[in-house]
Amino acid sequence: MRTIVIAFAAVLLAGTAFADEQVIKLKQAPGVDKVEANCQACHSLSYIPMNSVFLTAAGWDATVNKMINALKAPIDDADAKIIKEYLAKNYGS
């Protein structure tokens, strides 16, 4: 629930009061909803295009696994699979 609330808040804030608020439009493709709902609970979406285009599918797998295993992002297995596929397909080399 928390992730959804935060994602919604981020959209509301975009383009309003904060001069430094970043507006990142990810590539619209299957899975983008899961990326937006999960990833920006902890960080803005800029980290995705920032790390492109050079990570292989294995590189994006390792990155998402780091977020879950080392940094304890609360992402369930089904979402993680979709996120990895989205990143590899849209931001992978």
Give the interface with another protein as residue ranges (CB under 8 A).
2, 11, 14-16, 19-25, 40-44, 46-55, 59, 62-63, 70-74, 91
Nearer to another protein, 51 or 81 (CB): 51
The distance of closest approach from Cβ of residue 26 to another protein in the complex, given in angstroms and rounded to an integer, is: 10
Instruction: Please report how the helices 32-39 and 77-91 are oriented relative to each other, as an axis angle in degrees rounded to 10.
Output: 110
Q: What does the DSSP 8-state code read for residue 76?
A: -
**Separation between Cα atoms, residue 64 and residue 83, nearest integer Å:** 8
**Based on C-alpha coordinates, what's the Rg of the chain?**
13
Under a CB-based contact definition with an 8 Å cutoff, are residues 83 and 41 in contact? no
Considering beta carbons, is residue 19 or 78 the nearer one to another protein?
19
Q: How far is the CB of 17 from another protein (least distance, A)?
A: 9
CB of 13 to another protein, least distance (A): 9
